[in-house]
Amino acid sequence: MINELRLKQMFEDLVRIDSPSGHEKEVCIWIKNYIENIEIRTKEDNASEILNTESNNLIGYFDGNIDLPPLMLCAHMDTVEPGRGVEPVFENGVFRSKGDTILGADNKSAIAVILEVINVIKENNLKTCPIDLVFTVFEEGGLKGAKAFDTSLIRADFGYIPDSTDPEGIVVSSPSCSQIIFEITGKSAHAGAEPEKGVNAIITAAKALSQIKSGRIDDETTCNIGIIKGGKATNIVPDKVVIKAEARSHDPEKLEKVIETMKSVFELVIKEEKQKSPDKNFPALEIKVEDDFKNVSLSRDEKVFKLADKAAENLGFELKGKKIGGGADANVFFHKGIKAGVIGTGMKNIHTIDENISLKDMVDCAKFLLEIINVYSLQTLENN
C-alpha cells in the first residue's frame, strides 16, 4: 500500500527546504499546509518565544475511526549544518546530496515516512486509532524543541520516533548527557615585553586537559572535549579560555563519576598554578554543569516494545533491541510521561556530507509503522 513514488517526491521536496536548527519556519509551513490539505487539524505551541527561534513545534490531530487512546508519531524538523541549498541525487535506489551539504535524511526521512503512513490510512479508510503527529524544532544541539514542548497539547502517552538507523531495530537504551563548561581566568601581559607578569589561561587549560581521559571510557560511557576558545593576539598573554565538554553514560552513577573526575583535575591544576603565579588571585576557575538529557531504558515488557515486536513478527523479521550512544526527543518525552520508541529509517553517515538513505529502507520503515498502528488498533478491537 505504500506509494513509493509519492514517498520519494515528498522526501526530495522536504530536503530542498533549508531548516538548520532555529530556522525551521519554511519546513514547518510546508508540513502544516500538507496535513491541513488532507483534512487534519493542526496546532502550534509557543516554542519560538521560549527558544527565540523562527518556528514553533507543530502538532497534527488525526482522529482515526476507533475509540482508543491516541498514539504519537514524532519527527524533528531541523537539520545540522552544512544544510542549506541541499540538492538530492537519487541513483540506484539511494539518496545522497550532490556532495557539499548533508542530505537531511536526519530527520526528513521520518517526516516523509510519517506523512506517507497517514496518506495510506486515509485513502484506504483503514480502521485506525487516533494519532498525534508531532513535529519538533531544534532537536539537533540539545533537544530544545522537545524540552520547550507544552506536552499538555499531546493527547498520546506513548508512540514512536523514526530517528535512528536500523529499520528493523528499536532503541532500548540511550544515555544521559551532561554539558560541562570550564572557564579559566588568567592575567594578561605583553608577551614580548613582560610575559612574566602574565598568567597564561591557555597553558593552564592545556595542563588540565592533558590529564583528562576522553573518548570511549567504557562500553557505557564517553567523554568529549568539543570546544576551546581563548586568546586575543599572539603578543598578549591570554587571560581567559573557555572549554566546553560533554560526558555521556547509560549509567547515571558513571556519568557523575566522570564529571567529578574532570572537575577535580581542573581544580587541582588551578591550585598548583596559583602557587607558582606572580598574582595569587590567578588563575581562577569557574565550572558549570548542565544536564542535557536523561537516559532512556525501554523494557521488552513495555507496550511500546511489544507492539513493535508483534508488528515485526507479522512482517517477517526479528526486532532488534538497540543500545545507542546518541540522544533523541524520546529522551525528553520519556521524562515528561510519553514513552516513545525510537525506530530506524535507514539513514547512514548522518551529520556528514556522505549522508545517504535508500528508498527501500524508507518504504520498510513506513510499512513497519503502519503495521504497528494496525497491531495496536486491531488487537484492541479483537479484545473488545
Q: SS in 3 state form for the chain?
A: CCCHHHHHHHHHHHHCCCCECCCCHHHHHHHHHHHHHCCCEEEECCHHHHHCCCCCCEEEEECCCCCCCCEEEEEECCECCCCCCCCEEEECCEEEECCCCCCCHHHHHHHHHHHHHHHHHHHCCCCCCCEEEEEECCCCCCCHHHHHCCHHHCCCCEEEEEEECCCCEEEEEECEEEEEEEEEECECCECCCCHHHCECHHHHHHHHHCCCCCEEEECCEEEEEEEEEECCCCCECCCEEEEEEEEEECCHHHHHHHHHHHHHHHHHHHHHHHHHCCCCCCCEEEEEEEEEECCEECCCCCHHHHHHHHHHHHHCCCCEEEECCCCCHHHHHHCCCCEEEEEECCCECCCCCCCEEEHHHHHHHHHHHHHHHHHHHHHHHHHC
Catalytic residue, from 139, 183, 239, 273: name it.
139
Is 63 designated active site?
Answer: no
The one-letter code for the residue type at 20 is: P
Task: Single out the residue of 373, 356, 362 nearest to residue 94, CA to CA.
Answer: 356
Catalytic residue, from 24, 78, 116, 273: name it.
78
Q: How far is CA 98 from the centre of its chain?
A: 24
Asked whether 131 and 117 are in contact (CB, 8 A), the reply is no
Is 139 designated active site?
Answer: yes
Rounded alpha-carbon distances, angstroms, from residue 168 to 164, 178, 258, 312, 365? 10, 30, 33, 8, 8
Q: What nine digits make up the cell of 228?
A: 576551546
Taking the C-alpha atoms of residue 5 and residue 257, their distance in angstroms, rounded to an integer, is 51
Q: Which residues are catalytic?
A: 78, 139
